[in-house]
Homo-oligomer: A and B are copies of this chain.
Amino acid sequence: MRKIAESTVRRLSLYLRFLEEFQSQGIATISSEALATRGGTTSAQVRKDLSFFGSFGKRGLGYSVPELVGKLRDILGLKRTYQVVVVGAGKIGSALAQYPGFGQRGFHVAAVYDADPKKVGADWNGLVVQDVQHLEQDLARAPVDIAILATPAAAAAQVSDRLVQAGIRAILNFAPVQLEVPAHVVVKNVNMAMELEALSYALRNR
């Protein structure tokens, strides 16, 4: 399959969100123009993004909303559920583990881990914080697709290595460090401070 730009994937994600909105409003058909307006882009961009994956519309008519929802979920790999573990039961780990948006989109948080004995055993709406020592044996027993890394910076590299060793193939990294992983592992970084710095830059130059 041809390589698709990350920006395109982000937009597809967005389109899907809007389409689900339209769908819940009972709208059956939508034009690239209408989708574009909703998402702050252009109709040509919408059509181009979709064209990488096929021809889903009807000329003169637009796109069938339910059909396009299905295609996008398929393209994005969202027709299955993913098992997710959160490592790091601090404030951010706690917020992420209990974030309802994940479950709604098929990402099931199977477990949360922490190294601090004072946190281990805590019950978060039925999700019990596990000792990170059991990470490997748990992952061996019940495979997991994605790890969310929310440890302090100092622990991140080591935990990342252990996750990789245990066979994880995707990491969403909230720790402010650059992880080194083998090529077959996908990492996406989310760095709150960096987002604020981008705003700082934008504020400065106006």
Contacts and interface: CB of A to CB of B under 8 A. Distances in A.
Interface stretch (A10-18, A43-51, A61-69, A131-139): A10-18
Number of copies: 2
B176 A145 contact: no
A77 B200 CA distance: 6
B201 A75 contact: yes
Interface stretch (A24-32, A89-97, A115-123, A158-166): A89-97
A70 interface: no
A25 to B, nearest CB: 15
Interface string A125-166: 000000000000000000001100000000000000000000
B91 A98 contact: yes
Given A94-B95, A99-B91, A107-B193, A199 B186 contact: yes
A198 B13 CA distance: 8
Contacts of A105: 193, 196-197
A141 B75 CA distance: 50
Interface of A: 1, 6, 9-10, 12-14, 16-17, 38-40, 75-78, 82, 84, 90-92, 94-96, 98-99, 101-102, 104-105, 107, 145-146, 169-170, 172, 176, 178, 184, 186, 188, 190-206
Q: Which 4 A-B pairs have the closest CB atoms?
A: A77-B204, A91-B95, A95-B95, A77-B200
